[in-house]
């Protein structure tokens, strides 16, 4: 078990290093100059050269990468002379555009994205899995058809349609809700939930549709397996067969998908954040790409990759707990 974890962690670190190098190289491979963007239109070559020097873009690529990595582990000094600033580890640099420490940007945008994802993931897993399981048990009934029909609608909708419709109905037309906003959970949990209810419903409903269909199919497959028939034949009560035997087997692939989905969503729910005007990680990263804001691009890409890698490890560990057939090693 311990060996497994260590091996996976080493692999994760290697992956993240590879991703950081690729991002760095790709960023500089495209023919565009961040200094020109920062400097604006009324800018001449002398000024552009100065901006490049200030941002450290005049250094060889390998040195820039080295400085970046050193900053993460040991911190670094940014700027020269009176303008030298200590950037303690983990130093992700300063935004090219606003001079804000990238770590601060992550600190204020990540909680927004995490809040959106946690709430909606709870919704989609609860609704999706229970609806799917119930439909499987009541296969062929009106309930099953209704549930699956609804989920087909949900699965075919898009966030940028469904989200805008909800906004139109609940905010702009009726004024039943105020426009979504983010309040830190620690500040006011009620306001936190109230401000995020529309994004939660949007993401929760759309994703639950997929999970309902997936859970139903998995459950049906498991119910037709030999060990379920054996359990029933042994005279076990129906509920015990479903919950103790069938559910555990059926849920394994759902955990895999949920892990990946949540990991990917934590990296930024760009469309949801954009539609509801929430300043999350996704919006910050897209804005950074448009501005050629390298420190933010690197940080958000690495963070997104970390979430996916971490969720993968967690899913593998969960397997061992959920499914008795899986042994780690």
Residues near another protein, by CB under 8 A = 30-33, 36-48, 50-51, 53-54, 79-83, 85, 97-100, 104-105, 108-109, 160-161, 164, 172, 175, 178-179, 181-182, 270-271, 274-275, 277-279, 284, 286-287, 289-292
- Shortest Cβ distance from residue 103 to another protein (Å)? 13
- Shortest Cβ distance from residue 259 to another protein (Å)? 23
Q: For another protein, which is the closer residue by CB, 33 or 256?
A: 33
Q: For another protein, which is the closer residue by CB, 51 or 266?
A: 51
- Shortest Cβ distance from residue 323 to another protein (Å)? 36
- Shortest Cβ distance from residue 262 to another protein (Å)? 19
Q: For another protein, which is the closer residue by CB, 183 or 306?
A: 183
Q: For another protein, which is the closer residue by CB, 231 or 292?
A: 292
Q: For another protein, which is the closer residue by CB, 25 or 168?
A: 168
How buried is 139 (Cβ within 10 angstroms: 0-12 exposed, 13-18 middle, 19+ buried)? middle
CB distance 96 to 38 below 8 Å:
yes
- Shortest Cβ distance from residue 126 to another protein (Å)? 28
Q: For another protein, which is the closer residue by CB, 3 or 41?
A: 41
- Shortest Cβ distance from residue 45 to another protein (Å)? 5
């Amino acid at each position: 078990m311990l060996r497994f974890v260590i091996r996976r962690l080493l692999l994760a670190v290697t992956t993240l290093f590879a991703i950081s190098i690729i991002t760095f190289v790709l960023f500089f491979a495209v023919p565009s100059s961040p200094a020109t963007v920062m400097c604006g239109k009324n800018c001449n070559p002398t000024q552009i050269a100065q901006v490049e020097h200030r941002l450290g873009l005049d250094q060889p690529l390998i040195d820039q990468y080295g400085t970046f990595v050193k900053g993460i582990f040991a911190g670094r000094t940014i700027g020269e002379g009176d303008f030298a600033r200590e950037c303690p580890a983990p130093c992700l640099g300063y935004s090219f555009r606003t001079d804000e420490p990238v770590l601060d940007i992550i600190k204020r945008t990540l909680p927004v994205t995490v809040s959106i994802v946690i709430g909606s993931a709870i919704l989609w897993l609860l609704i999706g899995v229970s609806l799917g399981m119930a439909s499987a048990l009541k296969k062929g009934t009106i309930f099953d058809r209704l549930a699956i029909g609804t989920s087909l609608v949900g699965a075919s909708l898009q966030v940028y349609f469904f989200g805008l419709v909800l906004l139109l109905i609940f905010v702009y037309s009726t004024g039943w809700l105020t426009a979504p906003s983010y309040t830190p959970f620690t500040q006011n949990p009620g306001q936190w939930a109230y401000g995020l209810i529309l994004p939660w419903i949007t993401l929760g409903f759309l994703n639950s549709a997929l999970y309902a269909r997936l859970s139903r199919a998995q459950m049906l497959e498991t119910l037709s397996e030999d060990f379920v028939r054996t359990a029933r034949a042994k005279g076990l009560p129906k509920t015990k067969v479903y919950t103790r035997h069938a559910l555990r087997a059926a849920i394994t692939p759902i955990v895999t998908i949920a892990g990946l989905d949540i990991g990917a969503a934590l990296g930024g729910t760009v469309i949801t954040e954009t539609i509801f005007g929430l300043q999350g990680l996704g919006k910050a990263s897209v804005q950074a790409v448009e501005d050629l804001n390298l420190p933010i691009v690197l940080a958000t890409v690495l963070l997104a990759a970390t979430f996916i890698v971490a969720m993968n490890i967690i899913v593998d560990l969960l397997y061992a707990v959920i499914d008795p057939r899986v042994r780690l090693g």
